[in-house]
Amino acid sequence: MERYDVVVVGGGHAGAEAANAAARAGASTLLLTQNLETIGQMSCNPAIGGIAKGTVVREVDALGGVMGRATDLARIQFRMLNRSKGPAVWSPRAQCDRGLYRRAVRAILERQPRLEFAQGTVSEFLMSGERVVGLRTKEGRSFECSAIVLTAGTFLRGRIHMGTTTQIPAGRSGDAPSVELVETITTQGLRVERFKTGTPPRIDGRTANIAQLERQDGDSKPYWFSSFEKSQHPQQLPCYLTYAGEPVKEIILKHLKESALYGGLISGRGPRYCPSVEDKIVKFPNASRHQVFLEPEGLDTSEMYVNGLSTSLPASVQLEFLRRVPGLEKVRMTRAGYAIEYDYFPPDQLLPTLQVRGIQGLYFAGQINGTTGYEEAAGQGVVAGINAAAGVMNCEPLILGRNQAFIGVMIDDLVNRGVDEPYRLFTSRAEFRLLLRQDNAARRLLPIAERYELLAESELRLLHSVIDSENSALLLADETLISPADANPILESSGSHPITSSVRISELVKRPGVSLSRTLEANGIQIDEDHLAWGEIEIKYAGYINREREAAKRLAEMDDFRLPADLPFRAFNSMSYEAREKLERLRPSTLGQASRIPGLSPSDLQGLVMEVVRRSS
Ligand code: FAD
């Protein structure tokens, strides 16, 4: 029998990262997946990053991961989201060429000498007492190993729905589901539950009247997700914005009973933040229209992804409503949208290392833990891969703290709070979100990368030199005085009042619109602009960051705060809609219980305390 330290099952976003991390950490690793051609396949939207997710991509990269490097090689449009809100919450997001992304992931993985690949559908785990010792595939191959990372995504007993009459067993469109694997796991006593998700139709872009739509170009300023490789980006393409208005609404309402979601066929819960168009129309009846983005699928195809119209209506209805969207009157639909139901394992069955409680050597990562999203899967994949290797090599396991990484926040939420809907990352899930930024991910996680030897010598050298340069920029800003003669022209152009005597550069940079680069330059100090972003944010946001730390401390002290039984949660307007809805449903009796409900943010909890105090005074 062939033998490896670690076998990673699945070649999606969790699997790719787990295999890469285990191999980088020193384990002989096999990536075993149903179809080698689909390694790195994006099941839904060909886009990486976004709010909180972009930071996760940077964290994955800091730990030697694949996602950032592959995105840099495959991106056909880039935008820094939240740019108007200040750099502490900037969120990088890239539209990718689906094929290029897949090939980039495979090529990056093949650079790892300790990583091998095999095609096969795993049907059974081999156990010795309470520890995994190997696995078998449907095709009759067996492998011995000390650890398994399972990353089977939406494939476990996956079932596609299009309308109420078309149901296809599948892991996603075009891929077979994984059935036997669920049975082998549930015989170990694990609970299994069901979630759902959906995807919109794709269209032939040549049949869309693009000229009448609003064109959206990406940013022109260069950006790389990876700290290690400044690869050449492919040609950049625009997206287009249109709207689904009253005519679309009428068609959908007329056919609502034919929707798999509304016809009562699907029982699992879906991701609230990627609602189907049926959901949007039913839940927001007063909205006159909904945004629809036409996003290119790649450089060598005219196919476009219709972002905003995810649906489980029959294909014929999909075509009917697509043709009522302005600009799509004569459109040809290349692929119909669909909903998919799948099994996941409630993640409160996991340790914070992502090892299954009570089963030595078995780790779960990605969508099977009840999450949704490529980045969430990738972040878990890295941690599971490192821990699988650490377990084999008798090293200390990795548990990322909530103040260390968004990945740490996510895993802590998953294993301690469980999930009651597909878990997606938001900045509001993190109480230390001003510390967990995209610009400082490499710096935050460098000690971990060093501890597990995840980076090559050349990568480490590069990172250290960037960090040294960033540190010296901040030091210079603190130590250098700038004269009124040098400072006042800068202040004038930023609309700030002039100074009359010399001040420290760091003092000046605290003012809105005053940049670190211009003030250093005015003093004759030249530093690469890329190495100034970190220092500038540290200076400008120092006050907010300290205040946030204080707020987190206060919140911890209020953990035993009692909540009266008759609280009218729905009326608490200072809290998010999601929080009010969940509190009304679950009615916790203490603030501590409320804090463990998935999706309630620290600011929601603060709002709750304020409401209770106000009512009792
Ligand atoms: P996957 O990417 O699903 O990869 C699973 C891998 O495991 C595959 O390579 C598969 O071949 C392999 N595998 C499965 N079983 C076996 C086996 N027995 N043996 C060997 N290999 C096996 N996310 C969002 O954030 N927003 C959305 O709107 C959204 N919509 C989606 C719509 C659809 C229709 C689907 C299918 C997914 C959608 N997702 C969405 C989720 C997103 O695709 C996943 O979060 C992400 O792909 C999860 O990555 P993963 O690595 O966990 O699993």
Phi-psi region of 143 (alpha: psi -120 to 50; beta: other; left: phi over 0): beta
Residue 566 CA to residue 573 CA, distance in Å, equals 17
Q: Which atom of ligand 1 is nearest to the CA of 158?
A: 36
CA-nearest residue, atom 9 of ligand 1: 11
**Nearest residue by C-alpha to atom 25 in ligand 1:** 373
Question: Averaged over 454-460, what is the pLDDT?
Answer: 97
Q: Is the CB of 353 under 6 A from ligand 1?
A: no
| Integer Cα distance of 156 and 120 in angstroms | 15
Tell me 596's DSSP state: T
Q: Ligand 1 in contact with 44 (CB < 6 A)?
A: yes
**Cα-trace Rg, the chain:** 25
Does the C-beta of 77 come closer than 6 Å to ligand 1?
no
Tell me which DSSP letter residue 205 carries: G
Grade residue 551 by pLDDT with cuts at 50, 70 and 90: low
Given a cut of 70, is residue 555 above it in pLDDT?
Answer: no
Backbone dihedral region for residue 82 (phi beyond 0: left; psi -120 to 50: alpha; all else: beta): left
Residues 6 or more apart whose CB falls under 8 angstroms from that of 594 comprise: 563, 583, 588, 600, 605, 608
Ligand 1 neighbourhood includes 14 CB (under 6 angstroms): yes
Residue 21 clears pLDDT 80, i.e. is over it: yes
According to the model, what pLDDT value does residue 190 have? Answer: 95
pLDDT (tens digit, 9 = 90+) per residue, 377-423? Answer: 999 999 999 999 999 999 999 988 878 899 999 998 898 788 989 99
Q: Are 234 and 74 in contact (CB under 8 A)?
A: yes
Confidence (pLDDT) at 553: 61
How much distance in Å is there from the Cα of 580 to the middle of ligand 1? 31
Atom number in ligand 1 closest to CA 155: 14
Which of the listed residues 20, 41, 44 should we mutate to test ligand 1's pocket, taking the one with most ligand atoms within 8 A of CB?
44
Answer yes or no: is the C-beta of 10 below 6 A from any ligand 1 atom.
Answer: yes
What is the 70 CA–ligand 1 centroid distance (Å)? 17
DSSP string of 389-453? HHHHTTPPPP---TTT-HHHHHHHHHHHH--SS-B---GGG-TTTTTS-STTHHHHHHHHHHHTT
| Predicted confidence (pLDDT) per residue in 131-161, tens digit | 999 999 999 999 999 999 999 999 999 999 9
Tell me, using a 6 A CB cutoff, whether residue 366 lines ligand 1.
yes
How many other C-beta atoms lie within 10 A of the C-beta of residue 223?
Answer: 18
Take atom 11 of ligand 1 and give the residue whose Cα is closest.
Answer: 34
Please tell me the distance from the alpha carbon of residue 357 to that of residue 344, in angstroms, as a whole number: 16
Kindly indicate the confidence band of residue 591, based on its pLDDT and cuts at 50, 70 and 90: confident
Q: Candidates 182, 309, 372, 421: which one to mutate for ligand 1, based on the most atoms within 8 Å of Cβ?
A: 372
How many C-beta neighbours within 10 Å does residue 502 have? 13
What's the rounded mean pLDDT across residues 294-317? Answer: 96
| Alpha carbon nearest to ligand 1 atom 45, residue | 373
Residue 541 pLDDT exceeds 70: yes
Instruction: State how beta strands 47-49 and 29-33 pair.
Output: unpaired
Confidence at residue 564, expressed as pLDDT on a 0 to 100 scale? 87
CA of 152 to the centre of ligand 1 (A): 7
- pLDDT tens digits along 217-242: 999 988 999 999 999 999 999 999 99
Ligand 1 neighbourhood includes 33 CB (under 6 angstroms): yes
Tens digit of pLDDT for each residue in 341-378?
Answer: 999 999 989 988 999 989 999 999 999 999 999 999 99
56 lines ligand 1 (CB under 6 A): no
Residue 434 is predicted with a pLDDT of 85
Does residue 201's CB lie within 6 angstroms of at least one atom of ligand 1? no
Dihedral of the alpha carbons of 262, 263, 266, 272, in degrees to the nearest 10: 0
DSSP one-letter code for 232: P
146 or 546, greater pLDDT:
146
**556 pLDDT higher than 60:** no
pLDDT reading at 557 higher than 80 = no
Give the residue, by CA position, lying nearest to ligand 1 atom 22. 10
**Which of helix, strand or coil describes residue 131?**
strand
Gap between the Cα atoms of 286 and 64, Å rounded: 47
**pLDDT-derived band of residue 275, with 50, 70 and 90 as boundaries?**
confident
CB 13 within 8 A of CB 367: no
Is pLDDT above 80 for 264? no
* Location of structure tokens 């700030």: 496
- Ligand 1 pocket test: which of 30, 148, 154 has the largest number of ligand atoms within 8 Å of its C-beta? 154
Residue 152 in tokens: 């089977």
Please give the mean pLDDT across all residues of the chain. Answer: 92
Other C-beta atoms within 10 Å of 173: how many?
A: 15
pLDDT tens, residue by residue, 68-98: 999 999 999 999 999 888 666 789 999 999 9
Q: What DSSP character marks residue 189?
A: T
Q: Is the pTM of this model over 0.85?
A: yes
pLDDT in tens, 27-44: 999 999 999 999 999 999
Read off the amino acid at residue 8. V
Q: Is the shortest distance between the CB of 20 and ligand 1 below 6 Å?
A: no
Q: Is the pLDDT of residue 193 over 80?
A: yes
Percent above pLDDT 90 for the chain: 73
Closest approach atom of ligand 1 to CA 121: 19
What single string gives the DSSP state of each residue in 46-101?
A: SEEE-TTHHHHHHHHHHTT-SHHHHHHHHEEEEEEETGGG-GGG-EEEEEE-HHHH
Percent of the chain with pLDDT over 70: 96
Question: Can you tell me the mean pLDDT for 442-467?
Answer: 96
